[in-house]
Amino acid sequence: MRLGLVSRIDDRRAIEFTAQLRQMLEGEGFTIVYDQSSAAIQIRERGPHPIEVDADMMVVVGGDGTVLRTVQMMKKQIPLIGINWGEVGFLTDLEPEDTLPFFQSIKDGFSVEKRMRITITSESGSLAHALNEAVIVTSRPAKMLRFSIFVDQVSAGTFRADGMLISTPTGSTAYAMSAGGPIIDPKIEGFLLVPLAPYMLSSRPWLVSCERPLEIRLESTKPAKLVVDGQRTWDLTEGTSLTVERSPEPALFVDAGKKFFKKIDYKLRRL
């Protein structure tokens, strides 16, 4: 089995652990392959680069940010397993001490769980795919934005808020949860809309089926930014219209046998 290794690069101990992990996995009979632009053992950060490796699985040492960056940069989605080297790590299923027993258990194969991503498109074309969320925020602090929401090409409402968050079910345990949104079972496929600090108390989160066309239109003259998975940013202007769709290529996660709601309970108790 061919494994690709990626490590967070801002933590010396994580890089050292990844080097030790390589030796351990090779000792177990796995073939380790690297992408020259992403494997932390071989590179220094020079900005984002496409990840292109011929591997059966990507092994990511880091927190949620490292996992999101890896998913963003993979030109073709490869099943991924995260080893937590962050704070909470909702997107990671293994702790460092669990690593060896897990890989010994999958030598004969493993199962994969698909996680829905969303595709954000503007008038100029497709912008990005998000595993967690896309968020529209003002470029100037303490300035509110105005949004119009269209579902099935019909006006569904207007929000005045500091920002608007469009989350996947996977992202419901991230920024969306902090902003007051619900925790959603990742097997439910839909778009979660969460207004950030809305002006009206009646402005509540919405969960919209991913089968419905969804459009978000920025109606404010104030400058704003679109931030996708905390990794990439675009400037937005008044009248910008963003279309949200289910991405044709979901993220792929190795099933480590962790039950979702048991994992949520464990992770939340660590916060």
* Strand (E) or helix (H) holding 65: helix 64-73
Identify the CATH class of 118-246. Answer: mainly beta
Are 161 and 199 in contact by the 8 Å Cβ rule? The answer is yes
Could you tell me which of 144, 104, 4 has the C-alpha nearest to residue 60? 4
pTM of full prediction above 0.75: yes
Amino acid at 22: R
Q: Which residues are known to be catalytic?
A: 64
Q: Own/partner pairs for 205-211, CB < 8 Å, 24+ apart?
A: 205/176, 205/180, 205/181, 206/149, 207/182, 208/151, 210/116, 210/118, 210/245, 210/246
Structure tokens at 8: 């967070």
Identify the CATH class of 2-115+250-269. Answer: alpha beta
Per-residue pLDDT of the chain (271 residues; tens, 9 = 90+): 999 999 888 888 998 999 899 999 999 999 998 765 555 444 344 444 567 788 999 999 999 999 999 999 898 999 999 999 977 788 999 999 999 999 999 999 999 999 999 999 998 888 999 999 999 998 887 789 999 999 999 999 999 999 999 999 999 999 999 999 999 999 999 999 999 999 887 789 999 999 999 999 999 888 899 999 998 999 999 899 999 999 999 999 999 988 888 888 887 776 5
Q: What is the DSSP letter of 153?
A: T
Domain(s) labelled CATH 2.60.200.30 in the chain stretch across 118-246
Domain(s) labelled CATH 3.40.50.10330 in the chain stretch across 2-115+250-269
